[in-house]
Amino acid sequence: MVDIHTHVLPDYDDGPPNVDSTREMLQMAVRSGTTELVATPHILNNGDYRREKEIRQKFQLVKKLIEEQGYDLKLYLGSEVYLYPDTTLDHSISTLNNNKKYALVEFSLRTIPEFVPQKIFNWILDGYSIIIAHPERNLLLEKNPFYLFRFAQMGALLQLNSGSLTGVFGRKVKELSIRMIDHNLVHFIASDGHGVEGRSISMLPAYEIVEKRWGIEKARLLFEVNPRKAILGQEIKKAEPIPIEEKSVFARFGQWIKRLRSAD
Ligand SMILES: [Fe+2]
């Protein structure tokens, strides 16, 4: 499997606190079948790009750890860029493997800031392939899944977290994740691994779910074929996105009754 979203650099962000924890993560990744991974440290604002030297040093250190352990694991560098109106993608760590094409971006988990769709669309017009990290964890998108279709329709690529499918973020996120795959609204599954528990770097349980429910072709596409193309900067084939309908009138009526009752 090929993992395009991980936090493996030691003592950099909210990933592993030290080299030993990084070593544990690498071991887990290899044992669970990951053969290529991209280190994507958080870039929380343009100022963080000034830490590029530090990021590169830590990246080299992780590379050395992999060599020392003799792991069959290819490591690449990228970042997870948090969107602000002035965020730029013109640094060598802004895109995966510095391919000047695929950028992994995130924004608030609570809402969709007003500038975000336009900013993403402008980048797409500029020739970038914009990968939105874990949209299934966004509260607004969870309530209005139709917007997921809108993002896909305008050319954005959607990356699901493996933990979302295994229930790490709760039942609702899991259900939405399943609907997203059913509606061709997932282009990549990645670990967003921060450690060996919780947001774990192992993607194997999620891979098994996808293989069982949608078949091996789909599993390979989302865990291997598309992610590898993203690293290499190659175009991926996209299946036609299908809109997720809003909940039925009956379901909405039920929610309304429930709210009235809880207001008593
Ligand atoms: Fe992340």
Ligand 1 centroid to Cα of residue 263, in Å, is 37
Q: How far apart are CA 70 and CA 163, in angstroms?
A: 28
Ligand 1 centroid to Cα of residue 40, in Å, is 7
Alpha helices, H only, 87-242: 116-125, 139-143, 146-153, 162-166, 171-182, 204-214, 216-220, 226-232
Tens of pLDDT, residue by residue over 57-79, are: 999 999 999 999 999 999 999 99
Is a pLDDT exceeding 70 seen at residue 262? no
Ligand 1 centroid to Cα of residue 258, in Å, is 35
Tens of pLDDT, residue by residue over 171-218, are: 999 999 999 999 999 999 999 999 999 899 999 999 999 999 999 999
Is a pLDDT exceeding 90 seen at residue 55? yes
Paired strand residues for 36: 2, 74
Q: Which structural domain range is residue 149 located in?
A: 2-263
Ligand 1 centroid to Cα of residue 104, in Å, is 9
At residue 245, the pLDDT reads 79
Ligand 1 centroid to Cα of residue 239, in Å, is 25
Interacting residues of 149 by C-beta distance below 8 A, sequence separation 6+: 183, 185, 241, 242, 243, 244
| 161, 207 Cβ separation under 8 angstroms | no
Ligand 1 centroid to Cα of residue 29, in Å, is 16
Count of domains observed in the chain:
1
**Residue with the larger pLDDT of the pair 80 and 247:** 80
Tens of pLDDT, residue by residue over 124-162, are: 999 999 999 999 999 999 999 999 999 999 999 999 999
Interacting residues of 62 by C-beta distance below 8 A, sequence separation 6+: 8, 9, 10, 22, 26, 39, 75
At residue 198, the pLDDT reads 87
Rounded to 10 deg, the angle between the 204-214 and 171-182 helix axes is: 50
Ligand 1 centroid to Cα of residue 223, in Å, is 16
Ligand 1 centroid to Cα of residue 212, in Å, is 26
Percent of the chain clearing pLDDT 90 (strictly above): 92
Is a pLDDT exceeding 60 seen at residue 264? no
Percent of the chain clearing pLDDT 70 (strictly above): 93
The distance in angstroms from the start CA to the end CA of the chain is 51
Provide the CB-side half-sphere exposure for 47 (13 A, CA). Answer: 1
Calculate mean pLDDT across residues 227-248.
91
Ligand 1 centroid to Cα of residue 245, in Å, is 28
At residue 6, the pLDDT reads 98
At residue 249, the pLDDT reads 58
Is a pLDDT exceeding 90 seen at residue 33? yes
Calculate mean pLDDT across residues 6-10.
98
CATH number at residue 225: 3.20.20.140
At residue 255, the pLDDT reads 61
| 90, 38 Cβ separation under 8 angstroms | no
Ligand 1 centroid to Cα of residue 97, in Å, is 16
